[in-house]
């Protein structure tokens, strides 16, 4: 196991300062709702570097993009240094047979010890023939890898509840990872999910030796424990019945409530108002875009049509 000293030293080689590393640990404490006294413990915990296998199924790779691009500039370096990312088709250097050998070896050598992160839904019609990698169906890959993992974290609406791949008419009978394989997953809902929540889930595991507490949909309570509506900066306008009636009107310019242009904040659980996006600078509602409920199961069917009052 690497020591705490090794982490900042390794990161320094990548241009990430000790100060940025401690800022990252503070960010993780904030996301997890822990007091700042946990910051040194987080700094030690992330030295453990668990093996992680990241699987892609039926999806658009937007969750990976969210993970590696939209966070603090130094966080991607810290995250990729924190975990031992053994297999990830988008960013790994290996390809073809070599990549699949790495996957097999990681699963075999770390049976019951590695974390699987799964992105995308799994087609189940006709024995899953509509999604294959290296001659194996997603169904076969999921059964093999997820069932040998210590835990599986489903990232994104597709992996957690089927997403756009399972939206009507769902011709390939796509299902969530949990439903297709018959396992329990920790579900980081969102289209895409917030990278800070993804990392915080792994950090929670390293810190406490277990996955975070979840709601009845498998979503970590630290991130999905309260309604967007209850923490929305436009909530005062909602109470005063000051609503945007159409995009570009006077109410929009004044930052009024977006309910009448389809905001799904009153029925969507997510910590967007708290941690925001793009380095914590902003998030859709603050930017004038109604919440479309992307962290709720089957939102493509349940929340559509978007942009109209429900």
Whichever of 186 and 232 has its CB closer to ligand SF4, that residue is 232
185 contacts 178 by C-beta, under 8 angstroms: yes
The yes or no reply on residue 255 touching ligand SF4 (CB under 6 A) is: no
Tell which one of 58, 79, 257, 303 touches ligand SF4 (CB under 6 A).
257
Q: Coil, strand, or helix at residue 132?
A: strand
Query: Which residues carry a binding-site annotation for [4Fe-4S] cluster?
Result: 60, 63, 158, 191, 229, 232, 257, 263
DSSP string, 202-225: HHHHHHHSSPPPB-TTS-BHHHHS
Task: Specify the stretch interacting with ligand SF4 by CB under 6 A; choose among 37-45, 70-78, 82-90, 234-242.
Answer: 234-242
Outline where the chain has alpha helix (H). Answer: 6-13, 18-32, 39-45, 62-69, 75-82, 96-109, 138-146, 156-161, 177-181, 195-208, 221-224, 235-239, 250-253, 272-275, 299-302
Whichever of 91 and 309 has its CB closer to ligand SF4, that residue is 309
The yes or no reply on residue 178 touching ligand SF4 (CB under 6 A) is: no
Whichever of 26 and 288 has its CB closer to ligand SF4, that residue is 288
Whichever of 116 and 228 has its CB closer to ligand SF4, that residue is 228
Tell which one of 190, 193, 212, 265 touches ligand SF4 (CB under 6 A).
265
262 contacts 289 by C-beta, under 8 angstroms: no
Sheet holding 51-56, edge to edge: 84-88, 51-56, 115-119, 151-155, 186-188
The yes or no reply on residue 259 touching ligand SF4 (CB under 6 A) is: yes
The yes or no reply on residue 283 touching ligand SF4 (CB under 6 A) is: no
The yes or no reply on residue 258 touching ligand SF4 (CB under 6 A) is: yes
Task: Specify the stretch interacting with ligand SF4 by CB under 6 A; choose among 4-12, 106-114, 193-201, 255-263.
Answer: 255-263
Task: Specify the stretch interacting with ligand SF4 by CB under 6 A; choose among 135-143, 170-178, 261-269, 275-283.
Answer: 261-269
The yes or no reply on residue 232 touching ligand SF4 (CB under 6 A) is: yes
The yes or no reply on residue 165 touching ligand SF4 (CB under 6 A) is: no
The first and second tokens of residue 106, run together, are 């990681």
Dist. CA 137–CA 146, nearest whole Å: 14
Whichever of 153 and 257 has its CB closer to ligand SF4, that residue is 257
13 contacts 80 by C-beta, under 8 angstroms: no
167 contacts 301 by C-beta, under 8 angstroms: yes
Whichever of 56 and 229 has its CB closer to ligand SF4, that residue is 229
Tell which one of 235, 267, 274, 289 touches ligand SF4 (CB under 6 A).
235
122 contacts 58 by C-beta, under 8 angstroms: yes
Note the residues at the interface with ligand SF4 (CB under 6 A).
228-229, 232, 234-235, 238, 257-259, 263, 265-266, 285, 291
């Amino acid at each position: 196991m690497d020591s705490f000293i090794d982490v900042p030293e390794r990161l320094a080689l990548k241009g990430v300062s000790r100060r940025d590393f401690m800022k990252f640990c503070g960010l993780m404490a904030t996301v997890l709702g822990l007091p700042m006294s946990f910051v040194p413990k987080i700094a030690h915990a992330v030295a453990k570097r668990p093996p992680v296998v990241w699987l892609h199924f039926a999806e658009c790779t937007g969750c990976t993009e969210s993970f590696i691009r939209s966070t603090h500039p130094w966080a991607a370096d810290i995250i990729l240094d924190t975990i031992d990312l053994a297999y990830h088709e988008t960013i790994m250097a290996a390809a073809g047979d070599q990549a699949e050998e790495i996957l097999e070896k990681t699963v075999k050598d770390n049976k019951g010890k590695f974390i699987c992160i799964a992105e995308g839904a799994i087609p189940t019609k006709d024995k899953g023939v509509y999604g294959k990698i290296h001659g194996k169906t997603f169904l076969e890959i999921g059964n093999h890898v997820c069932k040998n993992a210590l835990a599986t974290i489903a990232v994104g609406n597709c992996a957690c509840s089927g997403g756009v791949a399972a939206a009507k008419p769902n011709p390939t009978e796509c299902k969530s990872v949990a439903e297709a394989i018959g396992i329990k997953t920790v579900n980081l809902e969102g289209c895409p999910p917030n990278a800070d929540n993804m990392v915080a889930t792994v950090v929670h595991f390293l810190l406490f030796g277990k996955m975070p507490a979840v709601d009845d949909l498998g979503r970590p309570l630290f991130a999905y424990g309260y309604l967007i509506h209850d923490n929305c900066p436009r909530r005062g306008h909602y109470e005063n019945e000051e609503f945007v009636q159409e995009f570009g009107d006077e109410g929009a310019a004044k930052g009024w409530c977006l309910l009448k242009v389809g905001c799904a904040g009153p029925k969507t659980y997510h910590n967007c108002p708290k941690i925001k996006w793009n380095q914590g600078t902003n998030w859709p509602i603050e930017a004038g875009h109604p919440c479309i409920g992307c962290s709720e199961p089957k939102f493509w069917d349940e929340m559509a049509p978007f942009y109209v009052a429900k």
